[in-house]
Structure 1
Amino acid sequence: MKFKLIALDVDGTLLDDDHNLTERTKQTIQDVHDAGCHIVLCTGRAPASTLPILQELGLEGTMITHNGAATVYADEKGQALVNEFTFTLSEIQPMLDYVRREGIHFDVCTPFNMYIERIGEEERLMYQKYLISPKLVTDVTELGIPLVKLTLFGQPEVLDRVQREWDEQKLYGDLRMIRSGDLFIDVMSAKANKGNALKALADELEIEPEAIMAIGNYYNDMEMMAFAGLGIAVANSPEDVKQAADEVTASNNDEGVHQALVKYCLELV
């Protein structure tokens, strides 16, 4: 097989819009794995909400989580942190002041934990959908620990305004702000992205980029798609993400991951 590592985004790519895996996709991924290929989930999710997907696939191994800010190895013994890109609470204080003032929901994450200051029904349902159990605290700034991600959750028009104003004011300083979905904005270390995390893993495994396939659907997937020898966008991706990809497969609701793996892996075995 030409490819030795397959990097898969999860939401909007591997899972359909109801956050389900099809049986055919699971079987195809297992066939590719059995043929000797590393399967790596590369997601904005935390390890705790990524692990159930890995287990549903019948796999263990490395997960690139928090959009590249934390890489974790998982097996039957548990989870171990491989790599992280952190920042301090003081670096996000101007952004915390903004979202508190504007009433925008946010959470902050360490590799294995998420913290929130308030939660409503809309947020509760969102966390439930993503298999997340955040810890409620009075003030996240009192945590006093390094973080890997600040995430905002809100309606697209609200986050559009946040992006515009934070860009104009450079409110995120030396950190990196990305739109990880229509309803989410992530702020992380400038070094943290799926591409850098994938490169670090590939170096460790001694796998050349030409032997890597990456499949994604959104702007936070573009670095890993660019790093991989073959970067594939699913059909439900924004148009500029599809234009940046090497190939386009079917949508997440039409088993695009299955179709890509059959075409570029199994048919070439």
Structure 2
Amino acid sequence: MDLSQIKMVVSDMDGTLLNSNHEVSDRFFELFEKLKARNIQFVAASGRQYHSMLSKLDHIKNDIIFIAENGALIKQKEDELSTTPLDQNLRAEILDSIQQIENVDAMLCGKYVTYFDRNSEQLLNLVKEYYSNYEVVDNFYDVTDEIVKVAAFHPKSAEEYIHPRLEHLEDRLKVKVSGKYWVDLNHIDAHKGNALKMVLDKFGLRPNEVVAFGDYNNDLEMLELVDYSFAMANAHPNVKEVAKYETASHNDFGVERILEKILA
């Protein structure tokens, strides 16, 4: 594994760069400054809302690129490099399908604001960590904002209880199990792989100049795109199958350990 030519590092957030307490380590920020000094670009790629990502990486925000909402929004400083909203008719079809599933709550994710149903206050209290900019509404169907993602939540298992009931949408949407409790539904072209491809084209980078880290199914296309793809030790089996390499867990500085190797 020759990491001497690396010019970009791309990392998922939850389960990857963030530990179980949803924290970015001081060790990462120290390593980031060394990467920056060597002109190695850092990209944060997450299913999270942009503002939620920003809150974790605020003091380096002007030096990095954000891929938010699974690739539906790409932002560098104040510039929107790309946005991929959902078709309104498909959005309504998603909501209709979700309403047929027991014990499932949903959220509508705009580019900068996430919408919660007034009857889902319990869900809001659970996920404020991930959605810092939000509004509570009476009816999802009345939301006029451009929506880039619908996220569905099950308190036991998204893979078991939600995904099988939404698989019929996969010919027209990206339907991804993005965590133990979550299924994300995006535009068919809105995924981390497409978003990263746009970023690589913008900077004129090749797959052998990029390292990427991930832990869940919404990272698969991104990991497939680059030569140096790392699954976290805590990653979903699908991710370990796709990634070319493995690193330590998110609680054991898995990302930082590889950054140190790049800098060495």
| TM superposition score normalised by structure 1 | 0.89
Q: Deviations over 1:155-192 (max 9, x none)?
A: 2335522211222xx14651120011111110011111
Partner of residue 76 from structure 2, selected from 67, 73, 77: 73
Q: Deviations over 1:195-223 (max 9, x none)?
A: 11001011011111111110111111111
Partner of 1:259: 257
Partner of 2:67: 64
Q: Mind listing any 5+ residue stretches in structure 1 that lack a counterpart?
A: none
101-110 or 37-46: which moved more? 101-110
Maintained 8 Å contact 2:157/2:180: no
C-alpha distance in structure 1 between counterparts of 2:169 and 2:212, whole Å: 31
C-alpha distance in structure 2 between counterparts of 1:111 and 1:251, whole Å: 30
Maintained 8 Å contact 1:14/1:257: yes
C-alpha RMSD of matched pairs (Å): 1.9
How do residues 1-150 of structure 1 correspond to structure 2 at under 5 angstroms? 1-57=4-60, 60-74=63-77, 79-101=78-100, 102-118=102-118, 120=120, 122-150=122-150
Maintained 8 Å contact 1:105/1:154: yes
State the shift of 1:131 in Å: 4.8
* Distance 1:53-1:60 versus aligned 2 partners, 3 A rule: farther
C-alpha distance in structure 2 between counterparts of 1:165 and 1:124, whole Å: 23
Partner of residue 227 from structure 2, selected from 226, 229, 243: 229
C-alpha distance in structure 2 between counterparts of 1:158 and 1:214, whole Å: 25
Q: Mind listing any 5+ residue stretches in structure 2 that lack a counterpart?
A: none
What is the aligned-residue identity percentage? 26
Number of positions where the alignment pairs a residue of Structure 1 with one of Structure 2: 260
* Distance 1:110-1:214 versus aligned 2 partners, 3 A rule: same
| TM superposition score normalised by structure 2 | 0.91
- One-letter amino acid matched to 1:188: N
Maintained 8 Å contact 1:172/1:187: no
C-alpha distance in structure 2 between counterparts of 1:43 and 1:88, whole Å: 21
Q: Deviations over 1:117-153 (max 9, x none)?
A: 2255542333322252321112222223432100012
- One-letter amino acid matched to 2:263: L
State the shift of 1:73 in Å: 1.6
Per the alignment, in what secondary structure is the counterpart of residue 151 of structure 1? strand
C-alpha distance in structure 1 between counterparts of 2:124 and 2:146, whole Å: 25
Q: Deviations over 1:35-85 (max 9, x none)?
A: 1100010001111101122224575332000001110122xxxx3321011
C-alpha distance in structure 2 between counterparts of 1:62 and 1:119, whole Å: 35
Question: Are 2:203 and 1:195 aligned?
Answer: no
221-230 or 246-255: which moved more? 221-230
- One-letter amino acid matched to 1:55: D
- One-letter amino acid matched to 2:116: I
State the shift of 1:243 in Å: 2.2
Maintained 8 Å contact 1:193/1:220: yes
111-120 or 1-10: which moved more? 111-120
